[in-house]
Structure formats: C-alpha cells, structure tokens
Chains A and B, each alone.
Chain A
Amino acid sequence: MKRRTLLASGAGAALAASLGLPARAQDGPLKVGFIYVGPVGDGGWTYQHDQGRLAVEEHFGDAVETVFQESVPEGADAERVMTQMALSGAGLIFTTSFGYMDQTINVAAKFPDVKFEHATGYKRADNVATYDARFYEGRAVIGHIAGRMTQSNKIGYIASFPIPEVIQGINSAFLHARKVNPDVEMVVIWVYTWFDPAKEADAAKAMIEQGVDVIMQHTDSTAPLAEAAKTEGVIGFGQASDMAEYKPSPRVASIIDNWNPYYIKRVQAVLDGTWESMHTWGGMGDGEVVIGEITEVVPDDVKAEAQGMIDAITAGEYHPFTGPINKQDGSVFLADGEVATDEQLVSMNFYLEGMSGEVPS
C-alpha cells in the first residue's frame, strides 16, 4: 500500500535524490519520523518519546503517518538513518538523543524542506529546532524526598555523561537533599552510556555495597530499580518514565518526561505551515516534566513538602537554583536571592559546594 505509492513516485524521487534534493511527497499524510537511541521497550527515555509518537498518531489520525527507528548508535550510522528517513518522504524528523547533534545538522543541510527537531542539543539551523525539558526541576523534588528518606545519609547517583544537562540534575538533587539534611553525601558513578542495563545494575549494586540507600539515575533502563528491589530499605525513583511496576517500593516517586504536548504542537505547526526553528525548554509549568505518584512509603509530611515544592515550581514562584549557592571550590555561583539564568544552566560544568569527587574532564 504505502510501498506502492513510493514506487509510483519513484522516478522523480530518484532524480531528486541524485541531485541531493528532498524527495518528499507533497500530497498525502505528513510523515513524521522518530530516531531513538534505545529500544522502545526500555521503560524509560525512549519509551517516553515513543509514547509521544503514539500521542501524535492518536491526535492527528489519518493526517499523519509516523515511522521510527530504535537503537540507532550516536555516530556515522545515525546520519545514514536520518538521510534514508528523509529520502523516504518524512517531512518532520525528531532526533531524540544529544549525540545526534552534528548528524542532524549535516543531514538537515541536505534536505532544506524537511524539518528537524533535535532533543537536548544546542545547534540550530533554519530547518533544525531544538527542544529540551527542565529535568532539574524534577530533580529538586526527588532530591528533597531523598534527603528526608535516607537513613545512611548516602545518596547514589548513576550518571551517564558529564554534560551540563546531567550535571544540572546532580547539583539540583544534591542541593535540595542537603537543604533538608546537612549530613547527606552523594556518591556519583559515571557509566558513560544512556542505556546499558548491565552497567546500570552494576553501578547500583556497587552503591548499595557502599551503604547507599537512595538511588537516583540519569540513565534509561529500569535495571537500577530492579537492583534496589533486592535489598530491603533501598529506594529509588522512576526516571524519564513512571516505572510504575516498581511501586510502592523501591520506586517511591518518579520524574516523567511528557513529550506529548510538545510533539503535538510541533506537528500541528508543520501542518499549518507555521513551523519555525527555535529552542524550547519546557518545565513543570508547561507539563513537560511531571512528578509521578509519590507512594505510601513516603511519610505524609514529606509528601506534603514535596507537593508544596511541585506547586511552587509549577507556578513559577520557586526556581531550584536560587542563591546563595557556592561552587564546589567555594567561589560564589549565585548571590543571595539571585536566580540562575538559562545561559548559566546550559553551561554548567561544575559541582556545587559540599559535593565530593570531581566532574570528569
């Protein structure tokens, strides 16, 4: 069916392709492509983007057709996959991992009529927009819960890559855990992968052996929660997705990335012809970052405090990075009452005062 139409428009497309021009069918539904770094069944980051894709399908029905490719390595292969997707007639392509940045820019230059959206990156072009979510807002809330819940005063953080987005999360969680528990220490393990259940589980295990009883993660799989479930009294949080199957414990709350509204808005813009390249950094107030249900394992007073923080951030009354805050070396990051600017956040490459260890460089 869809292949027939492809073959029919083949001759012209071949000519267009050999000239490096886009071979996009002008009539018929808008084809929207998604490129994923992990499998759609990872239960975390990629799963959540795929939920966004399904939401687009449901919202627009026959007006769109979606295609996706999972487990695309962040390298030369990604460029080929994007090119083939564009050649197949996609009019809008979401590339959903930081490591696709240069490839997205390269391919977009070859297909000026195809719109690209790159998640969590910072390079844009006329047909490349970027989008991200303020995950650090969610980290503040779970950091608060972690600081109140820990018995051993050791919080573990499974970190992926030492890039600003990840460091923001570590700092935000640590800052808010320290606020409610000055004795808290944070153990960070860098695994240098977004998705590797075996490595993530190993990191969680190593932390538990060091006495960590609250585990956070900036990786995509449910393996750390599965590891936490093996030891009584160790808790963790759903990451990117709700990870509800680990309720009520070890998963006591979660940070959910909700891409649905953004994806629907951007597909609509392409259909309306109003799409423009821009950077979108949505947070709790935009419904992009959502805290999943806080379970009964968390005492009521802690739950109420967390809810208060959620409400304040959502209403825009509280920014998780509000001074006075010092850097790890003791120098001033934010003066009393000063709020971090987005520029300061997107270039954050240092720990805050009180953290042990160093950001790998």
Chain B
Amino acid sequence: MIRLEKRPVPSTRWMIATPFLAVALTMVAGGLMFAALGKDPVEAIRTIFWDPLFNPQFASYSRPQLLVKAGPLILIAIGLSLGFRAGIWNIGAEGQYIVGAICGAAVGLAFYPAEVWYIFPLMVIAGGLGGWAWAMIPAILKVRFHTNEILVSLLLVYVAQNLLSAAALGWLRNPEGGGFPGSRNLSQYPAAANPELIAGTGMHWGVAAAFIAVIAAYILLNRHVTGYHIKLAGQAPRAARFAGVSTGRLVVFCLGVSGALAGLAGLFEVAGPAGQISIDFASGYGFTAIIVAFLGRLHPVGILLAGLLMALTYIGGELSQFMLGVPAAAIQAFQGMLLFFLLGVDVLTNYRIRFGKREVA
C-alpha cells in the first residue's frame, strides 16, 4: 500500500531535486513518444539537449542563440514571479510585451532618420512605460473595483494583438515598404538598434537586462521589506494585513513591475532580433514565461536556469525537426510533458511517499 503523507514543512531538498527529476522523466516519456514515431529516441533526445550546446557544426551558433531566446523569457518571468509569490496573477504579460514593443518602436521611428545617442535610451524608457501602463489597467481595476486581474490582464492580450495589427498595417507601417505591412527595420537604423554587444555572443541589451533583473529580484526578495511583504502576502494573507501590508499598493507594485519588465522585453526584441513591428511580432513569450516562472520555482536563480532550459528545448526542437524529421507537434508535446511532470512531481515537495500500512495513531 502506497500513500502520501503531508510533510510538516516543504522539503528543501525535494524542492531543488524535483525540476531535475521532471527533466529526467520528460526525457524518458519523450523518448517513448519519439520511439513510437519511429525515430531513434536516444538520437532525438541528444539532438534536443546536446547538439545545441556541443555539436561542433552548430554549437558556435546555437549557444549564443540560447541567450537570445532565453533573454526575454527570463526578463518577463522574473516580473511575473514577484506577483505570483504574492498571489497576484498577471496572465497578460504577452499583451504588455506587445504594447512595450509598440511604444518603444514608435519613439524610435518618430526620430527617424536622426542619429543621436539618446534615441535608444528614450525607446527603453518608452518600452518600459508602455508595458507598465498596460499592466496598470488590470491593477487599477482590481484595486478600485475588485475585478479579477487574471481575466482582465488575459483579455487585454487580445486588445494588444489588435493594436499590433493596426500599428503594422497603419500608423507604423514603413512608408517605403511598397504597401506591405510592417514597420521600418529598426535593426537597420543604428541609433535605434539593439545589436549584439559583443559579436557572436548573442548578448544584447535585453539579455543584459535579464541578468540585472535576476540579481535585482534576488536582492528585493531577500534583503528588502517589499520582498518580505510580497512573500508574506502570498503565504499568509491575513497575517500580512495585520502587519500593515497594503494589498492595494502590493497589487500596483507587482503588476507594475511585471508589466514594465514585459514591456522592456518587447522593446529589446523589436529593436534587436525581430527588427520590426509586424503582424506576427508576438511569438508567445509572454505565455511561455509563465511556464518558465513556475519551472524556476518562482526563484530568481531558478528562473534563470529554467529560461535557458526552455530555450534549449526550442532550439534543440528545431534541430531535431529538420535533422531527424520529428514533427513540430511532437516537440510541442515534449515541452508540454516537461510542464506536466514538473507540476506532477511537485507533490514530493509537500508530501512524503510511505509504503506499508497506515500506523495506528
């Protein structure tokens, strides 16, 4: 007889071990799936996890790409994790990411073709403010009218997507683009571009910002009273109220920070890897970051590692598609398995598995 016994306190050891266990289980289950599809499972797993890092033919290109792909995920997930810890659920980072990109790009394009140093800093500010403002809508509605921030922030994603279409087709459209949708290419406009800081490393300002955010979040949570309030509000809301934590202020703070970081991620992406505002600019980073936040246990360092792991499955997944002919849907299923196992084995953190009969109390 196997049964679960609740631990008096969550096990720290398991909290660290479960992500690794989840990855291992995903490899096993994913390997079975690849085998069922007629692919060599060992080769498929190696292509996903090993080749992007160490294949002599690709790795020098793929490794920097890991940073490019992980940068926005980490930046957004760090912001989300603050709110998630306090029980404030911003599900609309995708929308804040889009609005940040539109605002930042609009500022840059407004200066076109001027070449002055302050354009890019202004774009960064506009991007952050754009994301922040978009997140303030659910924040203020929640504080004032007690609306549900999950619904409001999520639905605002669809509004943002329509804004994006309008911008790409209308007011931000490249006047020299022959009527085709999409803005001017910011990466070809040096004053507004977000290029690699050191060629061949993948490091752009967005990646740098992600690392800074990781450190800042770590300090905030461990050394600052706001971080203490966030943790307290999540773990013991009543106690937090008695301790004088203002729920309203916390909502505004958490949604504001996560919105601003998502907006920054959007700005760095549009000025760098994506290059332009286009109808397809939004690539789901805002939603994937939710997975990254939980995969990283809402801990800044965990999120850093989780973002890199997620990026690895994307890039390795692409490799396995054209190297081995694995269907795109199988890669998505593989990523889904990762989240599933992660949440599944989470039970070990809070419960102990007991074999044998229940003892009489």
Q: Which residues of A contact B68 (CB under 8 A)?
A: 76, 80
A304 in the interface (beta carbon within 8 A): no
Q: How far is the CB of B192 from chain A (nearest CB, A)?
A: 16
Binds A, one of B73-81, B114-122, B272-280: B272-280
A87 and B280: CB pair below 8 A? no
B225 in the interface (beta carbon within 8 A): no
A88 and B58: CB pair below 8 A? yes
A162 in the interface (beta carbon within 8 A): yes
CA separation between A282 and B91, bound complex, in Å?
47
Q: How far is the CB of A225 from chain B (nearest CB, A)?
A: 22
Of A11, A84, A99, A163, which is within 8 A of B62 by CB?
A84
B315 to chain A: closest residue by CB: A80
A230 in the interface (beta carbon within 8 A): no
CA separation between A3 and B43, bound complex, in Å?
9
A11 and B321: CB pair below 8 A? no
B60 in the interface (beta carbon within 8 A): yes
Q: Which residues of A contact B329 (CB under 8 A)?
A: 39
If A70-B321, A84-B61, A99-B278 touch, whether A18 touches B200 (CB-CB below 8 Å) is yes
B272 to chain A: closest residue by CB: A76
B283 and A69: CB pair below 8 A? no
B318 in the interface (beta carbon within 8 A): yes
A315 in the interface (beta carbon within 8 A): no
Q: How far is the CB of B49 from chain A (nearest CB, A)?
A: 15
Q: How far is the CB of A18 from chain B (nearest CB, A)?
A: 5
Q: How far is the CB of A204 from chain B (nearest CB, A)?
A: 20
Residues 23-82 (chain A) with a chain B CB within 8 angstroms: 23, 33, 39, 67-71, 73-77, 79-81
If A73-B283, A87-B57 touch, whether A80 touches B65 (CB-CB below 8 Å) is yes
A275 in the interface (beta carbon within 8 A): no
CA separation between A77 and B273, bound complex, in Å?
9
Binds A, one of B173-181, B210-218, B292-300: B173-181
Q: Which residues of A contact B280 (CB under 8 A)?
A: 73-75, 99
**Chain A 328-361: CB-based contact to B (< 8 A → 1; otherwise 0):** 0000000000000000000101000000000011
If A23-B57, A80-B65, A163-B181 touch, whether A75 touches B283 (CB-CB below 8 Å) is yes
Q: How far is the CB of A211 from chain B (nearest CB, A)?
A: 27
A162 and B181: CB pair below 8 A? yes
B235 in the interface (beta carbon within 8 A): no
Of A3, A75, A349, which is within 8 A of B278 by CB?
A75
If A10-B55, A80-B65, A84-B62 touch, whether A70 touches B328 (CB-CB below 8 Å) is yes
If A10-B55, A39-B328, A347-B179 touch, whether A17 touches B61 (CB-CB below 8 Å) is yes
CA separation between A14 and B173, bound complex, in Å?
40
B328 and A71: CB pair below 8 A? yes
B149 in the interface (beta carbon within 8 A): no
Of B56, B180, B318, which is within 8 A of A163 by CB?
B180
Q: How far is the CB of A121 from chain B (nearest CB, A)?
A: 10
Of B43, B60, B321, which is within 8 A of A69 by CB?
B321
Q: Which residues of A contact B180 (CB under 8 A)?
A: 163
Of A9, A74, A87, A89, which is within 8 A of B61 by CB?
A87
A158 in the interface (beta carbon within 8 A): no
A347 and B178: CB pair below 8 A? yes
CA separation between A75 and B284, bound complex, in Å?
12
B322 in the interface (beta carbon within 8 A): yes
Residues 251-279 (chain B) with a chain A CB within 8 angstroms: 269, 273-276, 278-279
Interface of B is mostly: loop
A83 in the interface (beta carbon within 8 A): yes
Residues 52-110 (chain B) with a chain A CB within 8 angstroms: 55-62, 65, 68
Of B165, B200, B269, B278, which is within 8 A of A74 by CB?
B278
A18 and B60: CB pair below 8 A? yes
B327 in the interface (beta carbon within 8 A): yes
A6 in the interface (beta carbon within 8 A): yes
B9 in the interface (beta carbon within 8 A): no
Chain B CB count within 10 A is highest, among A76, A81, A87, A164, for A76
Q: Which residues of B contact A207 (CB under 8 A)?
A: none
A81 and B57: CB pair below 8 A? no
A69 and B57: CB pair below 8 A? no
B275 and A17: CB pair below 8 A? no
Q: How far is the CB of B46 from chain A (nearest CB, A)?
A: 9
B61 and A6: CB pair below 8 A? no
Of B62, B181, B274, B323, which is within 8 A of A67 by CB?
B323
A103 to chain B: closest residue by CB: B275
B328 to chain A: closest residue by CB: A71
A76 and B318: CB pair below 8 A? no
If A3-B323, A99-B280, A164-B179 touch, whether A360 touches B60 (CB-CB below 8 Å) is no
A90 to chain B: closest residue by CB: B322
**Chain B 15-56: CB-based contact to A (< 8 A → 1; otherwise 0):** 000000000000000000000000000010000000000011
Q: Which residues of B contact A73 (CB under 8 A)?
A: 280, 283
A11 and B278: CB pair below 8 A? no
If A10-B55, A76-B283 touch, whether A88 touches B322 (CB-CB below 8 Å) is yes
List 25 contacting pairs A-B, 8 Å CB cutoff, sorted by A. A6-B55, A7-B57, A10-B55, A10-B57, A14-B57, A23-B57, A33-B322, A39-B327, A39-B329, A67-B322, A67-B323, A70-B327, A74-B280, A76-B269, A76-B275, A77-B318, A80-B315, A83-B61, A85-B322, A87-B58, A162-B169, A163-B180, A164-B178, A192-B279, A360-B169
Q: A11-B56, A76-B283, A161-B279 are in contact. List 4 more A-B contacts (CB 8 A).
A: A76-B274, A80-B315, A102-B275, A163-B180
Q: B residues near A, CB below 8 A?
A: 43, 55-62, 65, 68, 165, 169-170, 173, 178-181, 185, 200, 269, 273-276, 278-281, 283, 315, 318-319, 321-323, 325, 327-329
Pairs A-B, 10 closest by C-beta atoms: A10-B56, A76-B273, A14-B56, A349-B179, A67-B322, A71-B328, A13-B57, A69-B322, A76-B274, A18-B60
